[in-house]
Each structure stands twice: as structure tokens, then as C-alpha cells.
Amino acid sequence: MKWKKFRIKTKTEAEDMIISSLYDIGLEGAQIEDHVPLTTLEKEQMFVDILPDMQEDDGIAYLSFFVEETEDGELLMNGEVTAQEDILKAVEEELDSLRTFMDIGEGSIEIDETEDIDWINNWKQYFKQFYVDDILIIPSWEKVKKEDEGRMIIHIDPGTAFGTGMHETTQLCIRQLKKYVTKDTELLDVGTGSGILSIAALKMGAKHAVGTDLDTCAVPAVEENKEANDIPEAAFDMMIGNIIDDKEVQDTVGYEKYDIVVANILADVLVPLTPVIIHQMKKGGIYITSGIIDNKEETVVNAVKAAGLEVLEVTYQGEWVSVTARKN
Ligand SMILES: C[S@@+](CC[C@H](N)C(=O)[O-])C[C@H]1O[C@@H](n2cnc3c(N)ncnc32)[C@H](O)[C@@H]1O
């Protein structure tokens, strides 16, 4: 498969926001370049994992994003043939709206070479079965070994959505869910991706889950993973939209309804999400967040406290943080 590569010249501190904005318009898998060297594994996991914050350097950063190219040299964006100038215009519009509230540096876009790689499926060779404590997480194309039969097993194919379970932040959330899920749990999973956290909670005994995501790729991924895990159709509902500022999504998700809200999203999203999501939670409800790189711990803890929640626990894995709080 061929991919046209584009490079954006920006600043280190704007990387996460640009990646997230590119994601919003369907340009997934953006990569940070010219940075502290990454391991091959880290590079390959970029497609499915959160980009780790890198050490500070000269402040200049380069981001690459890829657009699929057909045999006839046409570009496909969100599955539709799109002129190169329209892709550039869409990206420039995103960069302009970021410019209104942050310094993104030069923000110039250059068109690079076409690469012939199976970018979409490349990561699969690095996704192998593994355990989160006693839970087995296994790609849906791998077989369960005899000795694992009987334990909790989560079958996952994230497709082009996020969430193999390999990322530290997902594992932090799974461990917190294990502490708080009961048979009566009504769960809201903001940024559900592959649906892994809802599926884990349902397997732990939760009554019902609602997942939301901005990324439409989450819909087929959730459907497939529900089926692979024998989750009854009605036990896990999914909706696309931004709960932060879309009243219709908030109304559909419902108010004062959830025993647990889990959100494994970058700190920059958790900050505006938190004061909104408290209205979806029942009194006594638990808020489990992750996606927080260690230097953003205080930012999220402060946002959680400012929203009136009581911080119960902060847990860590590698350079990632999870904050768990309660609505009293
Ligand atoms: C780090 S992934 C987490 C996926 C999965 N829950 C997991 O733990 O592995 C974050 C997800 O949040 C979604 N996302 C980002 N901002 C969002 C928002 N405002 N509302 C809903 N989903 C959002 C992204 O599309 C992505 O699927």
C-alpha cells in the first residue's frame, strides 16, 4: 500500500495538540520526527499508542502524517478521493485554530516522498498476547493456550482504532476498573477506541457500558470486539461525538447516571472534559482517568479537584499516570 508523507514543522509543546487535531480530521498515525531517538518498538507502536512526550530539545519539532495513495496516484482521506490542496487546506485550518490559543511555531507543511508500506497493518506483528495481572489480553487472530482457559480473557483487534491494551495507560485503567466495578456498575467509557476498557469492565461483571469516541473507526472496532468477546448487543452502546461540547451527545449519554466514568485520553482533553463529565456521574460515582504523562499529573489533579471531585488515588506505570476520584 502506498502512502504520501507530509511533514509539519512545529514546536515540541504543540505536538500533542496537532496530533490530536489531525486525528480529528481523519489523519491518524502522525509521527514525531527529529527528536530524541525512539526504539523500533516505540516507532512501530506509534500507530496504536499515545505518543510519549519527549525530552525538551531546541523546541523545534517535525510531525509526519500519512495519506493513502491509490495506484492512480489519487489521495484518500477518510476513505474518499481528496485533492492534495484540500488535504493541505484542512490541515492548515486545524493549525490556524490551534494558533488562536497556543504557539505552534512555524506550522509549515511540506510534502515528502511516497512510501510503500502497509502502514495500517504494520503494527500487528508487535501485538502479541500478554497479561495485565491475571487477565489475558490476546489479539483476536491468536489462539488461547490450554493453560489460560478459565481465566479472564479479552480478545482484541483494535482495527484502526486505539486500544490493544499494550499501552501503560490502558493497563492502569484496567487495574482501577478491577477495584471499583460491581455487578450494578453503569459505565461510561469516554474515548472508547477499540472498546477494550468497556469490555474489560463487562467481563468483570459490570451491568452496562456506554462508549463515546470522536473517531468513527471506533464503531466497527467496538462491534468486532463485542462479538469476539461474546458481549451481548444491548450491554455495550457506542456513540460517536464530542461529549465535551456537544449537548446532544451529553443528553443522549444521560445525566447523573454513571457509577464509573473511565477516560483514557491525553491530559489536554481531560482538563476540559472533567467539569462536563461530573454531570453524567451519579453521586458517589468514580472517575478513572489516564493518558496522563508524568509531567501533567498536577494539571489533571488540579482539574479534578477544581471540578469538586475528591482524589482517591494516583497510580503510576512507567512514565504514565492514572488519577482516580469520587463525586461526593
Ligand atoms: C488513548 S485512546 C484510548 C482508547 C482505549 N480506551 C484504551 O484505553 O486503550 C484515546 C481515545 O480517545 C478518543 N478521544 C479523544 N478526544 C476525545 C473526546 N473529546 N471525546 C471522545 N473521545 C475522544 C480518541 O479518538 C481515542 O480513541
Residue 113, classified by CB atoms within 10 Å of its CB into exposed (0-12), middle (13-18) or buried (19+), is exposed
Least confidently predicted of 119-123, 259-263, 322-326: 119-123
Fold of 2-122: Alpha-Beta Plaits (3.30.70)
Contact status, residue 34 vs residue 112, Cβ threshold 8 Å: no
User: 302 among the known binding-site residues?
Assistant: no
Among residues of the chain, what percentage have pLDDT more than 70? 88
Identify the CA nearest to 213 among candidates 147, 141, 273, 167: 273
Sequence ranges of the domains in the chain: 2-122, 162-326
Q: Spell out which residues line ligand 1, taking CB within 6 angstroms.
A: 23, 50, 161-163, 167, 170, 173, 190-193, 196-197, 212-215, 218, 242-244, 264-265, 269, 291
Separation of CA 248 and ligand 1 centre (Å) = 19
User: 191 among the known binding-site residues?
Assistant: yes
| Res 128 pLDDT > 80 | yes
For this complex, say whether ipTM is above 0.90. yes
Segment 131-155 mean pLDDT: 94
The protein residue whose alpha carbon is closest to atom 12 in ligand 1 is 191
144 secondary structure, DSSP code: P
Whether the CA torsion 92, 94, 99, 105 is positive or negative: it is negative
HSE-CB of 140 using CA atoms within 13 angstroms = 18
| Same fold yes or no, 2-122 and 162-326 | no
Separation of CA 125 and ligand 1 centre (Å) = 23
Contact status, residue 221 vs residue 194, Cβ threshold 8 Å: yes
pLDDT digits (tens, 9 = 90+) for 89-110: 999 999 999 998 888 999 999 9
Separation of CA 190 and ligand 1 centre (Å) = 6
> Grid coordinates representing 291?
493518558
Q: Give the integer Cα–Cα distance in Å for 133 and 127.
A: 18
Strand partners, 155: 138
3-class SS letters over 273-322? HHHHHCCCEEEEEEEEEEEEEHHHHHHHHHHHHHCCCEEEEEEEECCEEE
Q: How confident is the model at residue 59 (pLDDT cuts 50, 70, 90)?
A: confident
Q: Which CATH class is domain 162-326?
A: alpha beta
The protein residue whose alpha carbon is closest to atom 14 in ligand 1 is 191
Task: Give the number of the atom of ligand 1 that is nearest the alpha carbon of residue 215.
Answer: 25
**Residue 139 belongs to what H/E stretch?**
strand 135-139
pLDDT digits (tens, 9 = 90+) for 271-290: 999 999 999 999 999 999 99
User: 213 among the known binding-site residues?
Assistant: yes
Least confidently predicted of 2-16, 108-122, 264-278: 108-122
pLDDT digits (tens, 9 = 90+) for 175-223: 999 999 999 999 999 999 999 999 999 999 999 999 999 888 889 999 9
